[in-house]
Amino acid sequence: MANASTDAKRGTIDLAILATLEHQDRYGLEILTEVQRATNGSLTFKEGSLYPALHRLVKQGWVNTRWEESDSGGAPRKYYELTDDGRRALEAKRQEWRSVRDAMEVFLNLRGAQ
């Protein structure tokens, strides 16, 4: 599977982060690892760009943070947790994504059939 384009990545990073936090609180590197694992590495981005995106989501009230001791004995980690608003935003973005995906599929199939 080809890597998604830069624009697509930029447009989907918020959705990917929110979806990653849907069932479990995670810290930065864990979010990154989970996104790459779940997408078989097709959705990759520079690791540094994760943190500004997380900050943006915190600012929007979709995500809360807390520092927690590392279970592996390392330095404390900053965990991210989806808020109720974040869950609603995730649902809205998910619907929006599906609508776009369905529309594009119809469009591309029609074009392909011509």
Site residues for another protein per CB under 8 A: 27-29, 46-49, 51-53, 55-56, 74-78
Q: Least Å distance between CB 24 and another protein?
A: 18
Question: Do 7 and 47 contact (CB within 8 A), yes or no?
Answer: no
Output 51 or 107, the one with its CB closest to another protein.
51
> Angle, nearest 10°, between helix axes 28-38 and 50-59?
110
DSSP type of residue 25: -
Whole-number minimum distance, CB 52 to another protein, in Å? 3
Residue 9 DSSP SS3: helix
Residue number, 78 or 101, with CB nearest to another protein: 78
Instruction: Give me the half-sphere count of Cα atoms (radius 13 Å) on the Cβ side of residue 37.
Output: 7
Q: 30 vs 94, which CB is nearer to another protein?
A: 30
Minimum Å gap between C-beta 17 and another protein is 14
